[in-house]
Every structure is written in C-alpha cells, then in structure tokens.
Amino acid sequence: MEKRMNGTLVSEILYDELRAFLELKGDKPLQLVDISVGNDFGGEMYANMKKKKLEKMVGYLVESRHFDSISYDDLVSEIESINNDNKINGVMLQLPLSKELNDHERKILDHIDWRKDVDGLTTSSIGRLVVGEVSLEPCTPKGIITLLKVYGVDLVGKNVVIVNRSNIVGKPLEQLFLRENATTTICHSKTKNLSEVCSCADIVVAAMNKQEMVDSSYVKDGAIVIDVGVHKNSEGKTVGDVKFDDVYDKSSLITPPTGGVGPMTICMLAYNTAKAKYGNEVDTVLEKAIEKAKVLVK
Ligand code: NAP
C-alpha cells in the first residue's frame, strides 16, 4: 500500500456517493450560506474554494453573504433569519470576524442553530460531541478520522499526540479519537519537550501552524503522521507543519502537504450539509464511501 495518504481520491469517492444519494432523493439542491465580515483575504480565498468545490461536486447552492462591517445585533438577526429559513440547510461563519466583533465571537457563533452548524463550532455542537449526542462534527477532525479508517488503521489503544488545542481542530479531534478508543495527548505552545512527547506516539497530528516544524526527531519508526498545516514557503511551494521529505522514511503512513487533509475537510462540509438535512441516513453514505475507498487505496 502507498504510504502517502490520498485525501483527494478519498474525497472524490465520498462526493460520488453523496451525489448518488442526493440524486435518489431527487430534492432541490441543498443550500448553504457562508457569512463573512471584514477583510480577511485568506478567509475569502478559502471560502471561494469551498463554494466552487461544493457547487461542482455535489450541486449545492452556496450563497456568500459578505459584510464589510455589520453591528452585533444585525449579524445576530442575519443568523436567526437563516435559522428560521427552511430552504437553508447549513450556515458557516468565517472566522476571524472583524476587529469590532472579535470579542463577541463565541456569543455570535452560539446563535447558530446546531442543526445547521455545518462547521460544528457552536457550544451546543461541541457539547453534544463531548457527551456523545448526535451533532455535526467539525470537518477537519472528521476528515482525518475518515482517512485513517480508509487506510485500515485500527485506532483501538493507539497512542495519539495532537499538537493543537483549538476548538476547530485539536479538541474535537481528541473526542473523535476517544470515541475510537485511542489514548490521546493534547499538546500546545506551552508543552515541554514537544519532540520527545511526539516521538512516543503511534499517530502524530501536527496542527501548530508552524511551517515544517515537525522533523524526523518528532517521529518514531513506523508512526502515522497527519499534517494539518498549510503554508507557502519562500519558493511559493505549499508545505505543511511537517517536513515531509525528512519524516517520510520513518512514517508508515503520512499525509502530504497538498491532497491530504485539505480535500477531506471540504468534502466533510458536503457530508455535514447532507447530514443537516437527512440526519443519520447519511452515515451509511460515508460508510459505503469508506469501504469503496479502502479497496482503491490498497
Ligand atoms: P490555531 O487556533 O492557531 O491553533 C494552533 C495551535 O497550535 C494552538 O493550540 C497553539 O497552542 C499550538 N501551537 C502554536 N505554536 C506551537 C508550538 N511552537 N509548539 C506547540 N504547539 C504550538 O489554529 P487552528 O485554527 O487550529 O489551525 C491550525 C492549523 O491548521 C493552521 O495552520 C490552519 O491553517 C490549518 N488548518 C488546515 C485545515 C485543512 O483543511 N488543511 C483546516 C483547518 C485548519 P496554544 O493554544 O498554546 O496557542
């Protein structure tokens, strides 16, 4: 089996399965609203990329609602009108918000109805995930677990080190690993002897947003390495938080800086939107896609 994990291939299989499921349903296209405030160029680029992908791969209607500036009250009204609009299946709020709204980020997010919270970022979604109730799970963590399942990794009892404690990556990912009976350690910027901690792990997830920080000294022989970071190096090449060429030989499976975790994240957004509309029925779509992908990555 190729040890470079192919998130692009796996995502395409999931899109195919989702498309087939949606065609059978024969309903109108699913609708998502993407709200952004202020001028975050990186965020805008990512939002456009998501929109194009979801429209092309699963025929969703993705409406971007951009505000150069908006008051707290008006933004909350906007979110509440989306919550009450039956035609809209999911809503995303691009972070960071504008400077004026940043301090109210949590309060604003929590106005999103968790049933439409396709990024899984509200306190309700996170709480439901922790106690094991149905929720829409954050896309990057869900994508990582899906990729590991496709590559046949038995997570039971595995020692996992996640270098990140954000609400969107590290904390939900830990919950998903715990659900699979792995043993987890979360690291962050104040962790002592990080490379030593990582080098004891069966699975290392690098998401510290530090260009190529994880080299082979962080990785034990045969470990699985998941790279979440995305950077452009001085030559304009996309690199991750992991020094791919240095770590490759030691790893048993590894995600590349492009075509690894990134495409999984976006296709999980498509999955979450379908789940927002059709509920647990969509889980079988994911299971089917995993089984199909398992054969193709062998
Ligand atoms: P974030 O909120 O900035 O979190 C970064 C985390 O890394 C924090 O927990 C931070 O610790 C920790 N950290 C920073 N420097 C460290 C160091 N020197 N040693 C150990 N830990 C360190 O970022 P995020 O939103 O979670 O995203 C993380 C990365 O993933 C970013 O590069 C982002 O672009 C990328 N991302 C990629 C995808 C994808 O689909 N590929 C999706 C989402 C995010 P503290 O908590 O102590 O500050």
Instruction: Calculate how far, in angstroms, residue 164's C-alpha sits from the geometric centre of ligand 1.
Output: 5
How does pLDDT run across 204-219, given as a tens digit for each residue? 999 999 999 999 999 9
Instruction: Calculate how far, in angstroms, residue 166's C-alpha sits from the geometric centre of ligand 1.
Output: 7
How does pLDDT run across 185-205, given as a tens digit for each residue? 999 999 999 999 999 999 999
Catalytic pick among 31, 34, 50, 175: 50
| pLDDT (0 to 100) of residue 52 | 95
d(CA 251, CA 206): 14
Nearest CA to ligand 1 atom 42: 140
The chain-wide mean pLDDT, for the chain, equals 96
Nearest CA to ligand 1 atom 16: 189
Active site residue 94: yes
| pLDDT (0 to 100) of residue 277 | 98
Active site residue 119: yes
How does pLDDT run across 27-80, given as a tens digit for each residue? 999 999 999 998 876 777 888 889 999 999 999 999 999 999 999 999 999 999
| pLDDT (0 to 100) of residue 41 | 67
| pLDDT (0 to 100) of residue 44 | 79
Instruction: Calculate how far, in angstroms, residue 101's C-alpha sits from the geometric centre of ligand 1.
Output: 22
Task: Name which of 88, 116, 121, 85 is nearest 105 in CA terms.
Answer: 121
User: Is the pTM above the cut of 0.75?
Assistant: yes
Query: Are the C-beta atoms of 211 and 229 separated by less than 8 Å?
Result: yes
Of the residues 11, 209, 255, which should be mutated to test ligand 1's pocket, given the most ligand atoms within 8 Å of the CB? 209
Q: Which residues pair with 162 in a beta bridge?
A: 186, 205
Catalytic pick among 31, 34, 53, 94: 94
How confident is the model over 94-121, as a mean pLDDT?
A: 95
Catalytic pick among 117, 119, 202, 241: 119
